[in-house]
Amino acid sequence: MDRILVTEKIAAEGLDVLRRGGEVDVKLDLDKAALIGVIGQYDALVVRSATKVTADVIEAGTKLRVIGRAGTGVDNIHVETATRRGIIVVNAPASNNIAVAELTIGLLVGLARSIPQAHASLQSGKWERTKFSGWEVRGKTLGLIGLGRIGSEVAARARAMEMTIVAYDPVVSLDRAEQIGVELLTLDDLLSRSDVVSLHVPLVDGTRNLIDAARIAKMKKGAYIINASRGGVIDEAALLAALEAGQLGGAALDVFSQEPPPADAAITHHPKIITVPHIGASTAEAQISAGSEVAEGVVAALSGATPRYAVNAPFVAPEAWGVLQPYLSLGRQMGRLICQMIQSPVRSYDLELRGELADIDSHPIRLAVLQGLLEASSPERITPVNAPLIARERGVRLTERTDPDAESYSGLLVVRVQTADQAHDFKGTVLRGEPHIVQADGYFVDFVPQGALLFTYHRDRPGMIGRVGTLLGGADVNISGMYVGRLAPREQAMMVLTLDEPASPEVLAQVEAEEDIQRSICVVL
Ligand code: NAD
């Protein structure tokens, strides 16, 4: 049974999910030495933000297959080392969406009606009704910079308040923006048209100080700005100067360039700035959802499936998930089959994604095939995470193309193996949700690629099946299924036997010694 170490407090719902994947030990407050001391016993590690999962911790985790972060940022995990070692890092990026979106709306209304200032005034014994005359958000233009998970949720809520919503996001498509009722603009147009600008971008090199003096100057005079994303995306000095000059009417901040800000920081004491101490994700629901989301990712990774939110493995869009999942398993099994069946040196692998596969993001399938091709011949553990790296190191060439024609199948995965003198074609599909190989080394067959399989390359003759069956029976090897693919009657053929247990080299030698059998091979998947 897999063992899972949890080093920080996560929601009970998350622990329940984890227990479905293995034996769970919760050890809070381990220091680094203690963590290094125990990590070698565990297959999975689950942390929040306090545990520093450094390179040496990961190196000591010789059995580790997955590291889970209950939350979004993975700054406390040395992802590069995890990737090199084939360890999947999963997080819970969607768990905070609603919490942050609702806080953003709260900050928006707080700005419009000066709620915090009015509250403070009343608490100090004053009754200043005229001072706190505000403005309505209805009919105002909200400019969202970043239209990802949180930006989209803010848009949905702002629409209900009858705002006009515009957005700038270099990645989001026009179709997607249309779907959520948002007009996509250039950044300059967004700045000049918005009454309120709200930031929902990650902090990366391209977004550091995204809102600086020059961009603030492009905003409407007296406009407002909200930041519940990351501190560094606003130049705080420029923001303070713009508020002083009256260029901006106010700002609301959940995040700061330095957290916590110094006690006397101007940014937390300015009368036109509403501040809260990075509480965007701090709701009971978000904590539960972070725990369950990360636990589901950890359990999926332990079971060999591709988790939905992996930091160092391909992201699979939720709408593609159902279609993709069985093909990931097919791709991996095809890779494993091919590397055992083709024993001549390989020049290249050509991957064709046909039919329904031609229209979806195929990157995860490519990784699954690579994983399968590499794993049998690698001393290190191969996962979709480190497969591209190892493939590059070994000079494995895998080209890729798509074709809408899938013969009579809805989707077809084709791998052509080019050896020095020959091409070997393998084709697979998904039937009733189950992977099937429908062509093996050029022969038309139909079998489920799992367990022990015996292949013979032989000349089609009467009695051939019986002879092989007798040999296997004599060695107490049970046959569970049989398929024959032949080029023409009494010509070259392939027999595929699914076995309850692998055939020994001695039995294979006996099979190969039979007349008209050129080669026999036992593959274990
Ligand atoms: P996301 O990855 O779903 O969306 C981010 C979007 O920003 C993407 O669509 C991306 O294309 C876009 N983007 C990237 N660079 C851009 C640029 N230069 N200009 C415009 N758009 C750009 O992320 P998300 O889950 O929506 O999170 C958004 C932000 O909120 C992140 O910074 C995250 O760290 C932060 N966050 C804050 C809290 C909090 O407690 N306040 C909690 C969770 C997340």
- For 487-509, the pLDDT digits (tens) are 888 899 999 999 999 999 899 99
**Residue 271 and residue 140 share a domain:** yes
The percentage of the chain sitting over the pLDDT mark of 90, rounded to a whole number, equals: 79
Give me the number of domains the chain comprises: 4
User: Residue 379 pLDDT more than 70?
Assistant: no
Helix 97-113 with 284-302: angle, nearest 10 deg? 160
Q: Examine residue 349 and state whether it is found in any structural domain, yes or no.
A: yes
Q: How far is the CA of 147 from the centre of ligand 1 (A)?
A: 8
Which amino acid is it at 125? Answer: G
Give CA 421 to chain center in angstroms: 39
What is the greatest pairwise CA distance in the chain? Answer: 104
Q: Which pLDDT score is estimated for 60?
A: 97
Is 208 in contact with 232 (CB distance < 8 Å)? Answer: yes
pLDDT of 391-447, one tens digit each?
887 788 899 999 999 999 999 999 999 988 899 999 999 999 999 999 999 999 999
Given the CA of residue 151, which atom of ligand 1 is nearest to it? 26
Q: Could you tell me the two tokens for 98?
A: 């609603």
Stretch 472-478: mean pLDDT: 94
215 Cβ closer than 6 Å to some ligand 1 atom = no
Q: Examine residue 402 and state whether it is found in any structural domain, yes or no.
A: yes
Q: Examine residue 519 and state whether it is found in any structural domain, yes or no.
A: yes
Q: How far apart are the first and last CA of the chain?
A: 21
Is 58 in contact with 386 (CB distance < 8 Å)? Answer: no
**Residue 502 and residue 405 share a domain:** no
216 Cβ closer than 6 Å to some ligand 1 atom = no
| Residue 278 annotated as catalytic | yes
Between these two residues, 471 and 29, which has the higher pLDDT value?
471
pLDDT of 165-183, one tens digit each?
999 987 777 877 888 899 9
Rg (CA), the chain: 30
Q: Examine residue 308 and state whether it is found in any structural domain, yes or no.
A: no
The percentage of the chain sitting over the pLDDT mark of 70, rounded to a whole number, equals: 98
User: Residue 375 pLDDT more than 80?
Assistant: yes
**Residue 170 and residue 53 share a domain:** no
Q: Which pLDDT score is estimated for 316?
A: 65
User: Residue 35 pLDDT more than 90?
Assistant: yes
Rounded-to-integer distance, Cα 70 and Cα 50, Å: 11
Q: Which of 80, 128, 259, 407 is catalytic?
A: 259
Q: Examine residue 145 and state whether it is found in any structural domain, yes or no.
A: yes
What is the side-by-side order of every strand in the sheet holding 196-199?
A: 183-184, 164-168, 141-145, 196-199, 223-227, 248-253, 273-275
Q: pLDDT-derived band of residue 74, with 50, 70 and 90 as boundaries?
A: confident
**Residue 485 and residue 421 share a domain:** no
pLDDT of 3-29, one tens digit each?
999 999 999 999 999 999 999 999 998
Give CA 262 to chain center in angstroms: 37
pLDDT of 221-273, one tens digit each?
999 999 999 999 999 999 999 999 999 999 999 999 999 999 999 999 999 99
**Residue 331 and residue 439 share a domain:** yes
Q: pLDDT-derived band of residue 336, with 50, 70 and 90 as boundaries?
A: very high
Give CA 283 to chain center in angstroms: 24
| Residue 78 annotated as catalytic | no
Q: Which of 113, 149, 270, 278 is catalytic?
A: 278
Q: Give the range of the structural domain holding residue 440, as residue numbers without chain letter.
A: 313-445
Q: pLDDT-derived band of residue 317, with 50, 70 and 90 as boundaries?
A: low
Rounded-to-integer distance, Cα 166 and Cα 144, Å: 6
Which amino acid is it at 442? Answer: G
| Residue 458 annotated as catalytic | no
Q: Which of 230, 336, 424, 458 is catalytic?
A: 230
Rounded-to-integer distance, Cα 98 and Cα 150, Å: 7
Q: pLDDT-derived band of residue 75, with 50, 70 and 90 as boundaries?
A: confident
Stretch 141-159: mean pLDDT: 95
User: Residue 355 pLDDT more than 90?
Assistant: yes
Q: Which pLDDT score is estimated for 183?
A: 93
**Residue 524 and residue 439 share a domain:** no
Between these two residues, 317 and 340, which has the higher pLDDT value?
340
Rounded-to-integer distance, Cα 35 and Cα 419, Å: 48
Is pTM, for the whole model, over 0.75?
Answer: no
168 Cβ closer than 6 Å to some ligand 1 atom = yes
Sign of CA dihedral 376, 468, 493, 411: negative
**Residue 252 and residue 104 share a domain:** yes
